[in-house]
Amino acid sequence: MNVVARHLVLLVGLLASFALLFVGAGQAIPFAEWDLVDIASEGGTALLAALWCLIVLCSRPDGRVTRLLAGGLACIMLGSWADCLDEAFDIDKSALWDNALEALLPLGMLVLTAGMYYWRHEQANLSEHMRKRERLFRSHRPFDRITQLADAAYLREQLRRESGNDGPCALVLFDIDDFHRINREHGQGEGDRALQAVAHMLLLNLRNDDLLCRYAGDRFAVLMPGLDQYQGEAAAQHLCRMVGAMHHHAGSRRMPLTLRHGCADAQGAPDALLAALCRRMDAV
């Protein structure tokens, strides 16, 4: 059963369960006494909320935002459906469960509001993530196939441009520790996923003006305009901590990812600068 069918069965099952509850606990109201306008509006609200819930569940990855949005819509669906069923079945006013069901509608609105609040923060983070790639997008350079970052040639071009500026600029290289072991033990596919995870974490923790490139293999380069070597070193240590705190998994097994780094002032010929920094890292 695919994802859409599974979620559809769940929602239909909830609606059917509520209907059976009212059938078993209530007294049917004659059709002539039904308020068709209320039934249409409350039943329509329930069906639309079910549709929106299904769309959210099938179009978003699982997570806090998805669960809040879907949970809020599900409560609105069930609360509206209960109100609709109240028009067709007479329930004892002292029944606590019927009174509790009436609270599902405002509860759903509250949960949905919380989901939209966190969704706004999620969108802000995604926009920030895209802005950090903007410097690369504007150049129309080819992307690295795996990480969608610029390559070493673009890095050298930017180093040449920065060398003509008067302000400081730090260059940091990062290596993933024991990357060959990841490829050997888990396969190249998991190695590619590890590269993507590290690239995303670095991007999320960089400034808007910083430039992240995939230099070679498991080696990344970050150009940090406005920072000297000591400030770049502090920023590099923070980035290493952020990557080390990730919970990256290969299947069900957690795969620790750590980085080592080297930092230098981005001054001088790009090839000589990069070669010297690479030698320094390889000697560690």
Residue 140 has pLDDT above 50, yes or no: no
Residue 174 has pLDDT above 90, yes or no: yes
**Are the C-beta atoms of 92 and 139 separated by less than 8 Å?**
no
Boundaries of every domain in the chain: 3-127, 143-282
Q: What is the pLDDT of residues 64-81, one digit of tens each?
A: 899 999 999 999 988 888
Query: CA–CA separation, 257 vs 77, rounded Å?
Result: 43
Query: Which pLDDT score, from 0 to 100, does residue 117 have?
Result: 93
pTM for this predicted structure: 0.53
To the nearest whole percent, how much of the chain has pLDDT over 90?
A: 30
User: Is CATH 3.30.70.270 correct for 143-282?
Assistant: yes
Q: What is the pLDDT of residues 220-247, one digit of tens each?
A: 999 999 999 999 999 999 999 999 998 8
Query: Which pLDDT score, from 0 to 100, does residue 22 have?
Result: 81
Distances (CA, A) of 117 to 28, 48, 52, 57, 65: 41, 21, 17, 18, 9
Residue 130 has pLDDT above 70, yes or no: no
Query: Average of pLDDT values for 132-147?
Result: 62
